[in-house]
Amino acid sequence: MLSDVMEDYLKTIYQIQARSGPPVSTSAVADALEKTPPTVTSMLGNLEDRGLVTREKYKGAELTPEGETVALEILRHHRLLEAYLAEHLDYSWSEVHDEADALEHHISEEFERRVAEALDDPVVDPHGDPIPSADLAPLEDDEATPLTAHEVDDRVVVSRVSDRDRDELEYLADAGITPGTTLEVVDVAPFGMVTVRTGSDAEQSLPESVAEAIYVRPATDAAPAGGSTEVSDA
Amino acid sequence: MLSDVMEDYLKTIYQIQARSGPPVSTSAVADALEKTPPTVTSMLGNLEDRGLVTREKYKGAELTPEGETVALEILRHHRLLEAYLAEHLDYSWSEVHDEADALEHHISEEFERRVAEALDDPVVDPHGDPIPSADLAPLEDDEATPLTAHEVDDRVVVSRVSDRDRDELEYLADAGITPGTTLEVVDVAPFGMVTVRTGSDAEQSLPESVAEAIYVRPATDAAPAGGSTEVSDA
DNA sequence: ACGACGATTTAGACTAGCCAAAATTAATAA
DNA sequence: TTATTAATTTTGGCTAGTCTAAATCGTCGT
């Protein structure tokens, strides 16, 4: 019924909207999908005709509830697949994204159910991103903040890590920084360079681009600093 | 590089060619893919331009070695997926086909490797069809014959069951007839109705359409009649 | 040998999705 | 207020894949 291409547009609009709020500009979608702005304008028109987005001319688009449901369905597929690949097919968390992107449009409802069952209905994927529930209820807003917004001596727990850039993910996997890891901010240098202590006195200096891909929440007093991964291994 | 659609054409041509030999007629492909003959003619032209098939006007098409390699790759994906779904996601052998069809064009080489490894490099899928090896070497000809070609008192082992029709597969699953099952032909009635004894004196009467989807080889003396499934469970 | 019929191909047209170039709009700075 | 500029939309055109209708070919029976 809905093409793969349209599903991709809706997923992308959802993700931009979740980050920056509506309206979502033509060029933001174009950048994310590596299409030209006229192509996006044209497709937004199609999505509007189908009642999946609303638009305001020269401003941008916003998902309707129906459009959001489709986006959540695709996102659920994507994140269940990521979790399954990591858990049952020995993928590392830095490898799962591309494979999930390729498969997310082509799995059946039955497959979705069986994968969810095999994983015991997980609520987050290996990057710490929330997995929409089977009823596709809207996700709650996420209170995590980028590591770059924190100050020296803050103690925080990694909530999730943006899965946009494979190289960044591998860098962080090497550094032992995954969802659930407790970090202490040791230093904030010019140009956004952030130094953190993970467990056992190990210190890591992270370039800004990497630090801003790490979303964290305040550490509870009980949690010790270190490489705990209770969230991503759940 | 190669579109999903082209891959589907090549897979289909391969399967018809394996059954009836070249050349493969336009209308045979059209029937199998539920496209019109002009559509197929047009696509065969594209495949010819890419060196994947050779054609003789008004006769039909034949895969080149390159075209056959592509077909074997897709067939390997399909059959590995079927085996994986049955083995690790609790699908029954009658359910795996459609899911594999949807996914076979979208898995990476890495995914293929990991699935094959998880299954310990299987050589047949749940229907008994051979899985092309990773090097995509041509499959040997299959010496199995349709059950309808046999006579009363023949003792045979099921090699494979055509996976074309879901209803037929469910019928056979209910009847306990799977690859590896030993059968004894008890009766051959008019209109192709075949009656067989499976294990423990149970007799089944099979309509022609079902009987001709069952491919068998002569039973070795050692094998007892019954529901052994050593092939499909391998 | 020839005509009829079924299969195949050709011709023409349509949709989805994409792009480049040109026109338009909104926002900002002078 | 007006002019510049950046973003967006419009215009026109391209490819892949599909279809229907019409023309053509091959084969088989007479």
Instruction: Give the closest nucleotide to B2 (alpha carbon vs C1').
Output: D16
Q: Which residues contact A179 (CB under 8 A, 6 or more apart)?
A: A124, A126, A127, A128, A158, A159, A160, A161, A229, A231, A232
Contact B148, B194 (CB under 8 A): yes
Count of residues in chain A: 234
Can you give the pTM of this predicted structure? 0.91
Q: What is the pLDDT of residue B225?
A: 47
Q: Are B225 and B184 in contact (CB under 8 A)?
A: yes
Chain D bases closer than 7 angstroms to a protein Cβ = 7-12, 16-22, 25-26
The per-residue DSSP string of A78-94 comes to HHHHHHHHHHHS---TT
* pLDDT over threshold 50, residue A234: no
Determine if the peptide bond prior to B207 is cis (ω within 30°).
Answer: no
Decide if B102 and A114 are in contact by the 8 Å CB cutoff.
no
Q: Which of A89, A107, A114 sits opposite B114 (nearest CB)?
A: A89
- Which chain A residues touch B107 with a CB distance below 8 Å? 99, 102-103
Q: In the predicted model, is pLDDT for residue A216 greater than 70?
A: yes
Question: What is the rounded average pLDDT for all residues in chain B?
Answer: 91
pLDDT in tens, B126-135: 999 999 999 9
Give CA–CA dist A175/A232, Å, rounded.
16
CA of B233 to C1' of D17 (A): 40
Mean pLDDT of B182-204: 87
Structure-model confidence comparison of residues A161 and A191, the more confident one: A161
Chain B, 66 to 105: residues with Cβ < 8 Å from chain A are 85, 88-91, 95, 98-99, 102-103
The β-bridge partners of B197 are B184, B203
- The stretch B83-96 carries a mean pLDDT of 95
- In angstroms, the separation between the Cα of residue B108 and the nearest Cα of chain A is 7
> What confidence tens digit (pLDDT) does each residue in B136-151 have?
999 998 889 999 989 9
Least confident range of A17-26, B113-122, B205-214: B205-214
Residue in A106, A108, A111 nearest the CB of B106 = A106
Q: Which of B182, B222, B214, B174 is nearest to B198 (CA)?
A: B182
Predicted local distance difference test score (pLDDT) of residue A221: 61
β-pairing, B194-197 vs B182-188, is antiparallel
- pLDDT of residue A223 exceeding 90, the answer is no
Spell out which residues of A between 16 and 75 contact strand C, using CB within 7 Å. Answer: 34-36, 38-39, 42-43, 46, 57-58
Tell me the per-residue pLDDT of B27-64, one tens digit each, with 9 for 90 and over: 999 999 999 999 999 999 999 999 999 999 999 999 99
Let me know: does B86 contact B116? Beta carbons within 8 Å.
no
Please report, rounded to whole angstroms, the spatial distance between the CA atom of protein residue B49 and the C1' atom of nucleotide C3: 37
Residue B14: pLDDT over 80: yes
Assess A118–B contact: CB distance below 8 Å, yes or no. Answer: yes
Which pLDDT value is given to residue A227? Answer: 45
Percent of chain A residues topping a pLDDT of 90:
78
Q: How far apart are CA A233 and CA B26, in angstroms?
A: 53
Q: H helices within chain B, ranges in order?
A: 4-20, 26-33, 37-49, 65-88, 96-103, 109-118, 166-175, 208-211
pLDDT mean over A28-52: 98
pLDDT at B77 > cutoff 90: yes
Say which residues have a Cβ less than 8 Å from residue B48's Cβ, sequence separation at least 6: B54, B55, B61
Task: Determine the average pLDDT of the residues in A21-28.
Answer: 97
Indicate left, alpha or beta for B69 from its phi (over 0: left) and psi (-120 to 50: alpha): alpha
Report if CB B191 to strand C is under 7 Å. Answer: no
B18, B68 contact by CB (below 8 A): no
Q: What is the number of CB-based contacts under 8 A between chain A and chain B?
A: 40
Question: Is A134's Cβ below 8 Å from some Cβ in B?
Answer: no
Asked if the model's pLDDT at residue A191 lies above 90, the reply is no
Residue B229 has pLDDT above 50, yes or no: no
Which of A99, A107, A111 faces B111 most closely, judged by CB atoms?
A99
Q: What is the pLDDT of residue B221?
A: 60
pLDDT at B222 over 70: no
Mark yes or no for CB contact B110/A102 under 8 Å. no
Amino acid A52 CA to nucleotide C24 C1' distance, rounded Å: 26
Residues 6+ apart with CB under 8 A from A89: B111, B114, B115, B118
- Nearest-CA distance B74 → chain A (Å): 15
Average pLDDT over residues B116-125: 98
